[in-house]
C-alpha cells in the first residue's frame, strides 16, 4: 500500500519522531522496488515532484499546519531529517539504477574488467548510505616550534635558498673534524656531546654521536654539490645538557650556508638584515658583535633590537626581561667560512683561493620562547595539550 502523508494532531517530540520514522521507512520500501529508469522517474515525481508529492504534502500538512509553539520542532524535523532523507534516497536509487545499466552493458559486451568495476560500484551503492554525515578528522595545528621553523625557512626560500637535510646520528669526522674543531676542543668531550656507546675501538673520526649542530650537513652538501650553493638546514640536534627552563638535551637549529666567488662579509650582513626584518618587522635594527666559532673566521653574533620593548629596555614602568633591559636580543651566530673548512672539500671545487662563503645558525626553540612569551623550554616537549592549544 502506497504511503500517504497523515495530518498531525500531536506535535510532541515523540510523536514527530515516530511519524518521521514511518515516512522514511515507507520511502526505503518503495525505493527498493524501483528497478528501471522509468520506475525511478515515477518514484521521483511521487516523492519530490513540484505538485502533490510527499515532499510538498509534508510542508503543507506538517510544517505550515503546525501551531505556533510547535513550529520550531516541526521545522527542524522537516528540514534536517525528512527532506535530506528523501533527497539522499533519490540520489542513492538513481546511482543504483545507473550502476545496473553499466553492468548490463558490460556483460553484453563481454568486457571482464568493466564487469568487475560495475559490480563493485553496484555493491558499494547497496551497502553505503551516503546520506550519513562523514567522519570528520579533528583539525590540528602546527606545534609552535615547527611553526617558527617554517617561518624562518620560508624567509630564506624566498631569497633563493634550498632546504638541505642530513642524519641525526653523525660521525666525529662530519660533526667536528671537517668543521675545524681541534682534537682537544671541549665539545668533543662526553660532558658536552652524547656519544653512541661501544665506539671506543673505532678510529676517532669514525665514532658515532648525536649531532651537536646541523653544520655537518654543510660538509655533506659541499661533497655532493659544486659551488655556487645556497642552503638552509633545519633539524634536531642533541647536547649533553641537563633539562631546565632554558636548556634541553634535544632542541632545534636552523643553519645557512652560501658559497660563491667574491662573497664578502657585506653580503652576510645584508642577507641577515633582510631576514631579520622579514621575521620581526621592518623597524628592527641589527647589530653585529665580534665572536668566535671554529668553522668561521671572522665570526660574529647578531643582535636585533628587542621586538618586545621596541629597544627601550622597558615595558611601561617595568624592566624588559627578555632583553635584560639592554634593548637588544642575541639571535644567532654567523661568520665567513674558515678556509680550513674548504680544504676538506677542495677537490669538489671549493678551493679557498677561488671561492668564499658565509654561514649562520640560530636556535629555533629560543626564538619560539621569545616570540610566544614562554618562560620554560620544557613546556614545548611535554606534550600537554592544554599548553599547545593556545597556539592553534
> In this predicted structure, what is the pLDDT of residue 78?
85
Cell of 126: 547497496
Q: Are 373 and 138 in contact (CB under 8 A)?
A: no
Q: Give mean pLDDT, residues 310-334.
A: 84
Beta bridge partners of 82: none
Q: Which of 212, 210, 218, 209 is nearest to 164 (CA)?
A: 218
Q: What's the mean pLDDT when you consider all of the chain? A: 86
Query: In this structure, what C-alpha cell is assigned to residue 194?
Result: 652524547
The confidence band for 82, taking pLDDT boundaries of 50, 70 and 90, is confident
Q: In what order do the strands lie in the sheet with 328-337?
A: 162-163, 229-238, 250-260, 356-363, 328-337, 296-305, 286-293
Domain annotation for the chain: domains and CATH numbers: 13-127 (no CATH), 144-391 (3.30.930.10)
Nearest to 251 by CA among 145, 132, 330: 145
Confidence at 296, pLDDT banded by 50, 70, 90: very high
Q: Dump pLDDT digits (tens) for 20-33.
A: 888 888 888 888 88
pLDDT band at residue 16 using 50, 70 and 90 as cut-offs:
confident
- Whether 192 has a pLDDT exceeding 90, the answer reads no
Q: Which pLDDT score is estimated for 135?
A: 58
SS3 (DSSP) at 197: coil
Mean pLDDT to the nearest integer, 179-189: 81
Taking the C-alpha atoms of residue 95 and residue 258, their distance in angstroms, rounded to an integer, is 59
Q: Give me the pLDDT at residue 75, please.
A: 87
Taking residue 197's Cβ as centre, other Cβ atoms within 10 Å add up to: 6
C-alpha atoms less than 13 angstroms from C-alpha of 127 in its C-beta half-sphere: 6
The Cα 175–Cα 197 span in angstroms is: 17
pLDDT value, residue 339: 94
Query: What Cα–Cα distance (Å) separates residue 217 from each residue in 72, 212, 222, 340, 350?
Result: 66, 12, 8, 17, 16
CA nearest neighbour of 43 among 80, 84, 97, 7: 97
Helix 112-127 with 83-109: angle, nearest 10 deg? 160
343-391 pLDDT, tens digit each: 999 999 999 999 999 999 999 998 898 888 888 899 999 888 888 888 7
Nearest to 304 by CA among 338, 266, 334: 334
Dihedral sign computed on CA atoms, order 335, 338, 344, 345: positive
Q: Which are the contacts of 221, defined by CB distance < 8 A and separation ≥ 6?
A: 164, 166, 229, 231, 257
Tens-place pLDDT, residues 112-151: 555 555 555 555 555 455 565 565 666 677 899 999 999 9
Q: What pLDDT is recorded for position 121?
A: 53
Query: Which residue, 64, 51, 60, 59, is CA-closest to 79?
Result: 59
Amino acid at each position: 500500500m502506497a504511503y500517504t502523508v497523515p495530518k498531525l494532531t500531536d506535535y510532541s517530540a515523540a510523536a514527530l519522531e515516530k511519524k518521521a520514522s514511518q515516512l522514511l521507512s515507507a520511502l526505503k520500501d518503495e525505493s527498493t522496488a524501483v528497478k528501471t529508469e522509468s520506475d525511478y522517474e515515477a518514484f521521483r515525481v511521487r516523492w519530490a515532484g513540484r505538485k502533490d508529492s510527499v515532499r510538498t504534502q509534508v510542508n503543507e500538512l506538517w510544517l505550515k499546519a503546525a501551531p505556533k509553539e510547535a513550529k520550531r520542532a516541526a521545522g527542524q524535523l522537516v528540514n534536517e531529517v525528512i527532506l535530506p532523507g528523501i533527497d539522499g534516497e533519490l540520489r542513492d536509487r538513481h546511482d543504483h539504477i545507473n550502476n545496473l545499466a553499466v553492468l548490463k552493458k558490460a556483460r553484453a559486451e563481454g568486457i571482464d574488467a568493466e564487469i568487475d568495476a560495475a559490480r563493485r560500484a553496484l555493491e558499494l551503492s547497496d551497502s553505503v548510505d551516503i546520506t550519513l554525515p562523514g567522519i570528520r578528522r579533528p583539525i590540528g595545528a602546527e606545534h609552535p616550534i615547527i611553526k617558527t621553523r617554517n617561518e624562518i625557512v620560508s624567509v630564506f626560500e624566498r631569497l633563493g635558498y634550498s632546504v638541505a637535510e642530513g642524519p641525526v646520528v653523525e660521525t666525529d669526522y662530519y660533526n667536528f673534524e671537517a668543521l675545524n674543531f681541534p682534537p682537544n676542543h671541549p665539545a668533543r668531550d662526553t660532558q658536552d656531546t652524547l656519544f653512541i656507546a661501544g665506539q671506543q675501538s673505532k678510529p676517532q673520526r669514525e665514532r658515532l654521536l648525536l649531532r651537536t649542530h646541523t653544520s655537518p650537513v654543510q660538509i655533506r652538501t659541499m661533497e655532493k654539490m659544486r659551488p655556487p650553493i645556497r642552503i638552509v638546514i633545519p633539524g634536531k640536534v642533541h647536547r649533553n645538557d641537563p633539562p631546565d627552563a632554558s636548556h634541553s638535551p634535544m632542541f632545534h637549529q636552523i643553519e645557512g650556508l652560501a658559497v660563491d666567488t667574491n662573497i664578502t662579509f657585506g653580503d652576510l650582513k645584508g642577507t641577515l638584515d633582510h631576514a631579520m626584518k622579514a621575521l620581526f618587522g621592518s623597524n628592527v635594527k641589527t647589530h653585529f658583535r665580534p665572536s668566535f666559532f671554529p668553522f668561521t673566521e671572522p665570526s660574529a653574533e647578531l643582535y636585533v633590537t628587542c621586538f618586545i620593548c621596541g629597544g627601550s629596555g622597558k615595558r611601561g614602568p617595568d624592566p624588559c626581561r627578555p632583553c635584560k633591559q639592554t634593548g637588544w636580543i642575541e639571535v644567532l651566530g654567523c661568520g665567513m667560512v674558515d678556509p680550513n673548512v674548504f680544504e676538506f672539500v677542495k677537490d669538489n671545487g671549493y678551493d679557498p683561493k677561488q671561492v668564499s662563503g658565509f654561514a649562520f645558525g640560530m636556535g629555533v626553540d629560543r626564538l619560539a620562547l621569545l616570540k610566544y612569551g614562554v618562560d620554560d623550554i620544557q613546556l614545548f616537549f611535554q606534550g600537554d595539550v592544554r599548553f599547545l592549544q593556545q597556539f592553534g
